[in-house]
Amino acid sequence: MAGYGDGPDVTDVFDQILCQDEKSLEAGVQEGEHDGALAGYAEGFCFGWTKGWEIGMEIGFYKGYSRRALDHYATLHSRTGDASPSRKVQTITSLLEILDRINLSNVKADALSDDIVLARRKFKQIFPGIFKSRNDPDTSTSF
């Protein structure tokens, strides 16, 4: 006949029941960390894609507009017969050199952000009426 001490200890059973909330909390924390990491990765990917698209569109616009303007000013320059290129042509050429230097494959490079800022400034200098920052309020509209 089995004695009183031969079966499972009653405190072990109650400990399992009482510690269930701690186990559930730990499982919830692990699940939350996992879900948060997945959500953060997805949100970061979307944010990176959007910002990359915006920067790519901006640089593409600068390149296209500058090349077209360079062709226009070069044509005007050739009609006048001057031997030296105009200041505008030289400035547009330097802008295109900056834009060609921008390499979007290494976005962690400090030079990338410096070159983008430099290209924005140079574009605003050459074509002041074209550039309108997204952050600038529209002063032509009044309420």
- Residue 142 reports pLDDT greater than 50: no
Check if the beta carbon of residue 126 is closer than 8 Å to that of residue 95.
Answer: yes
Dmax (CA) for the chain in angstroms is: 119
Domain ranges of the chain: 10-126
pLDDT of 19-63, one tens digit each? 777 888 888 888 989 888 988 989 988 988 898 889 889 999 999
- Please state at what angle helix 110-126 crosses helix 20-80, rounded to 10 degrees: 40
d(CA 112, CA 109): 6
pTM of the predicted model over 0.75 = no
pLDDT of 87-118, one tens digit each? 888 899 999 999 998 887 777 777 788 888 99
pLDDT of 10-21, one tens digit each? 677 777 777 777
Looking at residue 69, its amino acid is A
Tell me what pLDDT residue 110 has. Answer: 74
d(CA 3, CA 14): 20
Which sign does the torsion angle of CA 34, 39, 40, 41 carry?
positive
Phi-psi region of 10 (alpha: psi -120 to 50; beta: other; left: phi over 0): alpha
d(CA 88, CA 92): 6
